[in-house]
Amino acid sequence: MRFQLLGPLSIAEGEDAVVLKPSKPASLLAALLIHPGSVVSTGYLLRALWDEDQPATARAALQSCVLRLRRLFTKYGVTGSAIEAVPGGYRMNADAGTLDLVRFRTLVRAADGLGDAESELYRLKEALTLWQGPLLANVPSPMLHRDEVPGLTEERLRALERACDIELALGRCRQVLVDVWEAARRHPGRERFSEQLIEALYRTGRQSEALTEYRSVKGRMKEELGIDPGPGLQRLELAILRGDDLGPAAVDRTVPLPGRTAVALTAGTARPELAAAPALASAPAAPPVPVPLPVPPVPSFTGRAAERAAINASLTSGASDGPGAPGGSGSQGAATVVVLSGAPGIGKTALALQSAHDCQDSFPGGVFVLTMTRPDGSSVTPAEAMADLPAPGAGAGRTLIVLDDVTTADQVRPLLPAAAGGAAVVTSRRGLAGLVATHGGTVHRLSTLDPEESQELLAAALGAGRVHAEPAAARELAGVCGHFPLSLRIAAARLLTRPGLRIEDCVAWLAEDLPARLSLADDPRMSVPHVFGRALHRLEPRWQQAFRQLGDQEGLLLSSRVLGDSAEAEEALERLADAGLLEEGPPGPYRIHQLLKIYARRQAREWNRDQTATAPH
């Protein structure tokens, strides 16, 4: 058994976790775990439970809470961690194996003693994965949220800053963009995140966006605080305006991690404490060589057996060729191209990454995974993507490139020489028929999972015991989710964080407001409406309006005349099908998935309401 404090307070055993209900015992447990192995005074615990509004019987009530907590431990089989009554208060021992907070701090301290940047980054990322959502979300203690949560959050942000510094130093500017983009938005008061974001934008060739971000930060600081940005941001703005080469990135030396001394780091440095590269060097530096990373398996991946086998066969077809053979590691022949297309949320990325994991041993030149769409929905240009790929012919063998969320064929074509003699897996909501016409390859148009595959995914995510306890409800849940992998994973995550919730009750709640309730509050990317919306908003306004009209059509099969008998109506349906919002098409009928139809109907209502609200009266 172990305790999870870095998120909703819970007790875990293996992959199963019980999230505690908001209560006084939960506040007591959190107060003890925040200070593992230390004597926590009675006065502190009383404030944690009642703040300054303590009843006359508070001390007796505290003893009662301790007894209730001990009974809770017995209920969940917690035997190795006991609450000790000691002079002046209570103490609860915990180590890295029983409490995530101790493990987080252990990993962060261990990162400082490692001899290279890669190992340090690995430890920091391992530590950061222990944070599982809003801190103490189910602990109803105002004092802990006021006095303790800010300090714990600071520890996480320092570790994240350090990890982002190292990634910048290693030249992985594009990979770090997602983390610093989110961090800069969530924590606008921390200048370092804004500085990292602006630097990453500039280093990836997006000078105008970097300057726009700087001016946004400067304007906010002026308006809210009446101050100018710090020296680091000002030097960065000047370097961007002059078009300076920033040289090797350096780790920020002004904010040390807890329990460590601040050091500088540059890419390729064996001992980070010996490096002292300036943040803004004037001498030009050689561009960093992209480094491939191992591709881990996709958690709880199930189904797609036929597609997975076919993709793997295509990718490994040239694996045994010698260096001089056609398609071998020494060949400059065309890359093997595999295109995965389909509706938003259908599981294209998961299948691509799982196949990359399956086949990575066949690509001694490495596997490179590039996301071709930015967090704001805009497309990455081919020139930007090339910075994260090896030069054509420069690798030590066949290379596999995964290009995820591609928007057009022209985004892919310039990148294929980097995979010459190897392979490229391309995921897109669009069919990319133009790419296949010019470069060949295989196309896999993914549909929803079949009922058995949906059950397998739920069992893998929730645990077989929970699904087998309510088999009929699990089947109904799969149906409500439309057998979309994304929907199923969202529903499973909701059930995992509510261990007392029956699957049957979850089905009823979801069905009341589809697809709006297929979303997770702490991660906007895990949201069916968000994913559908991103696909829709990439289209021209006239095609968006055509999609809204489909919500009121009868049935899921759509004739070619559903939007009217005109060339534009036919083009609209073709565009929607190419965007993954419809299936099939001429010579047969088009089909719309039930979830997408409900979404179209909701979009039409919202659009009509907005038009009415803005119409002149």
| Separation of alpha carbons 359 and 353, rounded Å | 10
Query: Do residues 137 and 150 touch, judged by C-beta distance below 8 A?
Result: no
3-state secondary structure of 142: helix
Distance between CA atoms of residues 496 and 474, nearest Å: 14
Report the SS3 class of residue 585: coil
Contact present, 439 and 406 (Cβ < 8 Å) = no
- pLDDT at position 614, please? 60
Question: Low-confidence residues of the chain, pLDDT below 70?
Answer: 15, 79-81, 113, 115, 247-293, 318-333, 375-376, 393-396, 522-525, 555-566, 585-586, 613-617
Residues in contact with 240: Cβ distance below 8 Å, sequence separation at least 6, in sequence order: 198, 202, 207, 210, 211, 214
Over the stretch 424-483, which tens digit does the pLDDT of each residue have?
999 998 888 888 888 888 999 999 999 999 999 999 888 888 899 999 999 999 999 999
Q: How far is CA 428 from the centre of its chain?
A: 18
pLDDT of residue 64: 92
Q: Is the separation of the CB atoms in 333 and 327 below 8 Å?
A: yes
Q: Exposed/middle/buried for 475, CB within 10 Å: 0-12, 13-18, 19+?
A: middle
The pLDDT value recorded for residue 393 is 62
For residue 470, what are the contacts with CB-CB under 8 A and spacing of at least 6? 502, 503, 504
Task: Using alpha carbons, list the distances in angstroms from residue 413 to 54, 326, 328, 330, 437.
Answer: 69, 21, 21, 21, 12
Phi and psi for 393 in degrees, rounded to 5?
Answer: 80, 0
Phi-psi region of 223 (alpha: psi -120 to 50; beta: other; left: phi over 0): alpha
Q: Which helix (H) or strand (E) holds 370?
A: strand 366-371
Which residues does 167 contact at the CB level (< 8 Å), separation at least 6?
A: 121, 173, 175, 176, 179
3-class state of residue 366 by DSSP: strand
Residue 29 and residue 18: Cα distance in Å, rounded? 14
Helix (H, G, I), strand (E, B) or coil at 458: helix
The b-or-e profile of 408-445 (16+ CB within 10 A means b, else e) is ebebbeebbebbbbbbbbbbbbbbbeebbeebebeebb
Q: How far is CA 542 from the centre of its chain?
A: 32
Q: What is the pLDDT of residues 177-225, one digit of tens each?
A: 888 888 888 888 889 999 999 999 888 888 888 888 999 888 888 888 8
Q: What pLDDT sits at residue 538? A: 84
First-to-final CA distance of the chain: 65
Comparing CA positions, the residue from 479, 362, 341 lying closest to residue 404 is 341
Sequence-distant (6+) residues with CB within 8 A of 43 are none
